[in-house]
Amino acid sequence: MNMKFLRKLPIPQQIKARYPVSEQDAAVKAARDEELKNIFSGKSDKFILVIGPCSADSREPVLDYISRLKKVQEDVKDKILIVPRIYTNKPRTTGDGYKGMLHQPNPDETPDMLKGIVAIRDLHMAALHDYGFSCADEMLYPDNHRYLSDLLSYVAIGARSVENQQHRLTASGLDIPVGMKNPTSGDLSIMMNSIT
């Protein structure tokens, strides 16, 4: 397979300028980030629940799910902070198959990463604006985190990436919680090495 240049992708600052987060939504994210920080640091005795499907592949079902989580969050807000998973990248063990909204926002169409970047930003913006949820996403590609850095409150490093130096370096520079999965081998020492 040969690579073919199609177009340059806009840099994250350009995408953020085209699709900006409102001041009100930024304040909601900041408040949730602070609450997460307080829970992780022990200043709050709440629990954190990062919950949701392993792959977000369609906007409407994801937002329907998040609307239901919003009702649950209201019921448990004194004890639990819910962080919905909107995992827009789909790591593949063999490289075959659907790779997620980032690559292919419409599974029935040809992959288009620019459309994908816009689609995943739009999805995370809707979760924040319409439901008050700053969410979690998997950092499959460290360079792409900056397209969503003003929207996410939690990032996960997946099983296939936890040993990768670039993922570890990027994670160490983030000011939000980063979860490290155990690797596909199941060897927990590798996962532990990623946080030391």
Q: How far apart are CA 36 and CA 43, in angstroms?
A: 10
Superfamily grouping for domain 12-193: Aldolase class I (3.20.20.70)
Q: What is the pLDDT of residue 147?
A: 97
Q: Which residues contact 36 (CB under 8 A, 6 or more apart)?
A: 48, 81, 83, 153, 154, 176, 177
Q: What is the pLDDT of residue 18?
A: 98
Q: What is the pLDDT of residue 121?
A: 98
Percent of the chain with pLDDT over 70: 97
Closest C-alpha to 50, from 64, 32, 28: 32
In the chain, what are the domain boundaries?
Answer: 12-193
Q: What is the pLDDT of residue 191?
A: 64
Average pLDDT, whole number, for the chain? Answer: 91
pTM exceeding the 0.75 threshold for the entire prediction: yes
Q: Which residues contact 143 (CB under 8 A, 6 or more apart)?
A: none
Q: How far apart are CA 140 and CA 103, in angstroms?
A: 12
Q: What is the pLDDT of residue 69?
A: 98
Q: What is the pLDDT of residue 78?
A: 98
pLDDT digits (tens, 9 = 90+) for 158-193: 888 888 888 888 888 899 999 988 777 777 786 677
At position 44, the amino acid (one-letter code) is: S
Question: Is pLDDT of 95 > 80?
Answer: no
pLDDT digits (tens, 9 = 90+) for 123-146: 999 999 999 999 999 988 888 899
Choose between 5 and 40: higher pLDDT: 40
pLDDT band at 107 (very low <50, low <70, confident <90, very high): confident
Q: What is the pLDDT of residue 177?
A: 94
Question: Is pLDDT of 31 > 60?
Answer: yes
**Contact call for residues 111 and 101 (beta carbons, < 8 A):** no
pLDDT digits (tens, 9 = 90+) for 2-15: 777 778 999 999 99
Question: Is pLDDT of 196 > 70?
Answer: no
